[in-house]
Amino acid sequence: MQGLTGCWVRVSGIASTRGFVWYLGPTRVSHLDRGGAPEPGSTATHSRGTPVSTYTPKADEIERAWHVVDADGLVLGRLASEVASVLRGKHKPTFTPHIDTGDHVVIVNAAKVVLTGAKESSKNVYDHSGYPGGLRTRTYGKFLADKPEEALRRTIRGMLPRNRLGRQMLKKLKVYSGAEHPHEAQQPQSLALEHTRARTA
């Protein structure tokens, strides 16, 4: 290849070229199945491959299901991470980071979630009134006992994006301290999260 200078560069995910391509700078020579540099006199063609458009779901193409979770005996953090994933839509093949593709989640028996270890007394919740000296500190155990719905909602909110998209996702979350909920008309399907249950010795 007269007048063609470059080097071999490792590229992950290319099995046919042993993970290497011949790099010329701003452009890239087509993948060459050889272990070293191209021989003098050989020809190489520039190729950018077949363009593939990225699928982005439209607003009218998003299908939202309803799920119900019984939080009785489930660990707070493990439950929150799984619910946040469903609210974002990460369980769907159409997941798009900048679009709300998630489902609705109804949580019942929020007052019966558990904390592992000594988090009930060692983990604190902080609130501030905005005025000097307005810091209020509570243990997570007292927070759960006083306002279980708010404690669960606050934990899940911390696992969602910190922007308008995250606030929109949080609107699909319904939390109830008891076993009853007013969403029977939506026919929510039970979401089994047994792997989030507290382990017993």
pLDDT in tens, 61-84: 999 999 999 999 999 999 999 999
Q: What is the pTM of this model?
A: 0.72
Q: Quick one: what percent of the chain has pLDDT higher than 70?
A: 75
Where are the domains positioned within the chain? 1-46, 64-196
The answer to whether the Cα torsion of 129, 81, 107, 146 is positive or negative is negative
Q: Could you tell me the fold of the domain covering 64-196?
A: Ribosomal Protein L13p; Chain: A; (3.90.1180)
Confidence of residue 12 (pLDDT cuts 50, 70, 90): low
CA–CA distances in Å: residue 4 to residues 17, 23, 29, 46, 194: 19, 10, 10, 12, 60
